[in-house]
Structure 1
Amino acid sequence: MSALASGSSGIPPTLKKAFLVNFIWINLSEVFRYFVFIMPMIRKSFPELPGIAPMNLGIFSLWGLWDLILIIATTGFVWLYQNQFGLTLKNSLSAGFLVWVAIFGILWLALFNLNLATASILSIALPLSCLELLIAAWIVFRVRTGRRQVPE
């Protein structure tokens, strides 16, 4: 009998746990970075644009969808990368960095190219988002290995 037919989702419990922990981590990190740094910086950089960086239920819901996609992409990619190249801290952080480049690197490069982000915004957004995804990758590693420190 297949895993789906028996009522099991076939998703490893450690993947579910990594997703849950990253769900909490990435949502907290995204909300903190946006409200403390990015939103005020965008409003200060573009005062001539009325309603820039608004926050209401509809927009907050869209950011929730962004976070969900980010969590699935990050956790899933790191998991698959570990499966393919080995369950090491180095591989985990490499995978986190690759996801960061693919998502945030492209996003902020495009916004900067469109003059919708300034160098000062990028100087905060890029390092903090990179740290966010490196920690998310470490979370996947930590959940899978159950170890605090791993010599490589």
Structure 2
Amino acid sequence: MERHRRALIGWALVAVIVLAAVLTLSPLPLQDLASTAIDRVLDVLHSWGVPPRVDRHVLELGANIVMFVPLGLLAALLLPRRRWWVALVGALLASVAVEAVQSAALPHRFGSLRDVLGNTLGAAIGIGLVAARRAAEDRADRPGDG
């Protein structure tokens, strides 16, 4: 990978990590601040026929997954294939650390195993997207397959 592209991806990864840290380690209860918006989204989803069991907890899990997809994707772009596991383990450890800090030091936040699972799943999806793209590129590059 060319140096400029690698640096750009590295800076994007740093930005994603900083944004995730701000969102997850803020002492403010962000879900309370966004309560009206969350209620509106749920109202719209339910009016479209989404079942009522899709609630705040489901949206929060979805947000945790989505937040970590770019982290896994960008890390996988920077790492060689044989080291993608490092991105997944790193996301898992970062998520455990965030949840521990939330439980121990942030009175309006609480740690959750569900959040750890959602964050790790998001990173795995990001890594999977890179893996799928590279597999498709490899198939396209093989002579005689087209």
TM interval, shorter chain, is 0.3 to 0.5
Q: TM-score, normalised by structure 2?
A: 0.43
Query: Larger relative CO (CA 8 A, sep 6+): 1 or 2?
Result: 1
Q: Which one has the bigger helix percentage?
A: 2
Q: Normalization by structure 1: what TM-score? A: 0.42
